[in-house]
Structure 1
Amino acid sequence: MGKLDVMDMAILGFLQENGKRSYTEIAKLLDVSEGTIRTRINRMLKDGVFEFIIHMDPNKIGLDVQVIIGISTKLGKQEEIARTLNQFQEVRFVGAFSGRHDLILQAYFKNNDDLVQFVNKDLAKMDGIISVDVSIELKQYKDSFSYIVE
């Protein structure tokens, strides 16, 4: 993958503002041909720079409990536990971090009972977990996937 140039970043910015914006409209805004926009977007998609996704509001689809869970693991078990966590539909994000927890995950549940079952049944049977720290989101102030700074 080559470096992104100013035009690539501009295209990403326009798509980030409105993912349904047409290639023709972006081309007009940047004063280039629609083919140029199409080629650059296809290249960035192929290179994995971004992907088109639907970002849903979890609360509006019945997922009313959002949590961040910090997990401390036994030495040598972090990768195995992360791979196992990746398989759970409720888990949206798993990452290895420095600091207090070896793994941090974000997950969504329909209700507190489903969360309790996940912690007490699913996590409890994973070999190598030392401790789990669950933080339930009380109020959300920002939820953004915007990484372009102007």
Structure 2
Amino acid sequence: MSFINLIMPAKEQSRNRRECMKIDKLSFQIAGQLLEGRKSFREIAQELAVAENTVRSRINKMQKEGVMDIVARLDVEKLPGHTMVFTGVLLDERDLFAKCQELSQLRGVVSSAVVTGRFDIILTLLLRDGYGLLEFYSEEMAKIDGIRSVESFVVYKGSKLMTPYILDPNTLPE
């Protein structure tokens, strides 16, 4: 059994390959133009010398296919009371892909990834005053079976630590 079969069943692998849209040079160029975040479709079209409708339809298709998402990203270091944490997860079971999906649904998880190395999965967490590591482990991770061990890496200082804001802003402490 190959490593990829451990993390994602063959049926899922072939479905993912079939469903993925072809990303060509123009799609990458459009995505690059969106890094600034405030460019209009018209400005992108002019810069790439294509029709505005081409830009609009490409972006809409990439969003629909799940290839691209347009979100505001915030600098964690400039968010008072917030912390970014990377958590390595070692599992007792081998269905890594399913467990990765399950972990991604927990409150505070920005992203989850199946990785090589001493951990099976790495989580990126966004935590804040009133919802820190203790709450994450006791309220969220406690729901998940099959976890052998975890190790957390709290970010003290970072570079380009931009993240979407995934926590409920209505629950911010006063």
Tell me, yes or no, whether TM beats 0.5: yes
Separation in 1, partners of 2:83, 2:60 = 37
Shift of 1:50: 1.0
Shift of 1:139: 0.7
Separation in 1, partners of 2:114, 2:31 = 28
1:26 to 2:44 alignment = yes
Of 89, 111, 135, the match for 2:153: 135
Alignment of 1:8-27 (within 5 A): 8-16=27-35, 18-27=36-45
- TM-score, length-normalised on structure 1? 0.76
RMSD of the TM alignment (CA)?
2.8
- Structure 2 residue runs without a partner (length 5+): 1-19, 164-174
Please list the CA deviations of residues 6-33 of structure 1 after superposition, one character each: whole Å capped at 9, or x if unmatched.
33222222112x2221111122212232
Separation in 2, partners of 1:2, 1:122 = 34
Give yes or no for contact 2:74–2:162 (8 Å, CA) kept in 1: no
Q: Higher mean Cα deviation, 128-137 or 75-84?
A: 75-84
Shift of 1:116: 2.1
Separation in 2, partners of 1:87, 1:36 = 34
Separation in 2, partners of 1:34, 1:113 = 44
Alignment of 1:15-94 (within 5 A): 15-16=34-35, 18-76=36-94, 78=96, 81-94=99-112
Shift of 1:98: 2.0
The alignment-based identity, stated in percent, is 31
Q: Higher mean Cα deviation, 82-91 or 66-75?
A: 82-91
Separation in 2, partners of 1:98, 1:47 = 27
Q: Residue type of the partner of 1:15?
A: L
Separation in 2, partners of 1:99, 1:20 = 39
